[in-house]
Amino acid sequence: MASTSSPDDYSQLAKDSIIAGVLGAGAMVSRMLLNPTPVSWGWIIRRTIAASVVSIFVGFALQSQVQSVALRYAGIGLAGAAAPEVMDAALSWLQGKMKTEVAKVTRGTKPNAKPNRKKRK
């Protein structure tokens, strides 16, 4: 089956990705500028990258759903601004689920206990 994509399709895809990433990063940077608490450079970089990645995916999702370019860009910016909180909530939920599953498995075992080696008759 022959591919029907052209180099113009890829250049438009790259252009849309860059625009969405920059919009998300810009939304996160503006949020950080308004935040009065001091944070580390690692925190700033991690949050900005997360906002960019989420904004790129949201931009792809909104591309076929929202016809207004201004409304699409507003959605991308809002997703970029809210991305870190959504990711933190998802990660904390996942950690809680993992801890409960580990607790279920290890509930009946004792640490450093020797296995019972009695033979049944």
Where in the sequence is the domain holding 92, given as residue range(s)?
Answer: 14-106
Residue 80, domain member (yes or no):
yes
Domain membership flag for residue 60 = yes
pLDDT tens profile 85-121 = 877 887 899 999 999 988 888 876 666 656 666 666 5
| pTM of the shown model | 0.64
1-27, pLDDT tens digit by residue?
445 667 777 888 888 888 888 988 888
pLDDT of residue 99: 93
Residue 119 placed within a domain: no
> In total, how many domains does the chain have?
1
**What's the token pair of residue 92?**
């904390």
Three-state SS sequence of 56-98: HHHHHHHHCCCCCHHHHHHHHHHHHHHHHHHHHHHHHHHHHHH
Q: Is residue 120 part of a domain?
A: no
